[in-house]
Amino acid sequence: MNDLKCIRVANSSFLQVALAAVIAAIIYGISSNKRKNNSNSSPLVDANGRLKVNLDKKTGRGNVDMAFWNKLSKLVKIVLPNFACREARYIYFLTILLIVRTLMSIWLADVNGRVVKAIVNKNFSDFLKKVSSPLRL
């Protein structure tokens, strides 16, 4: 019985984060639908069900402008109430892991390039040095 209680308590923070993300997505969807309905713009699908493509004018999709930053700011305030909360620490930790993974990927590509260069040059002793060098660290 105590094991189930521990599992329930451990999952409660995950559920809170998931619930906050779902609520933020719903709020964003509702607000963007209201803006679309108020702007009197033509629908993206015609009467035959085909996608309308308008190449003549800019639609404003994908712009990183002040409206984007305002929306992002509101979303961050909902998801991260302050910068010391548990969710913020998760994001900091994941960001550090992403940077470390990127640096390791670059290092490994460099090592692989040196090994391939030794193979192409048919230099067996250089090949053995390059293959064993990552193991020595």
Residue ranges of alpha helices (H) inside the chain are 2-38, 66-79, 86-120, 124-136
DSSP 8-state assignment for residue 61: T
Which residues, 6 or more positions from 13, have their beta carbon under 8 angstroms from its beta carbon?
86
DSSP 8-state assignment for residue 54: -
How many Cβ atoms sit within 10 Å of the Cβ of residue 34? Answer: 10
pLDDT in tens for each of the 137 residues of the chain? 554 454 554 556 777 777 788 888 788 777 776 555 554 444 566 666 666 655 555 556 677 888 888 998 899 888 888 888 888 889 899 999 999 999 999 988 988 898 899 899 998 888 888 888 777 65
Nearest CA to 126 out of 76, 61, 136, 116 is that of 116
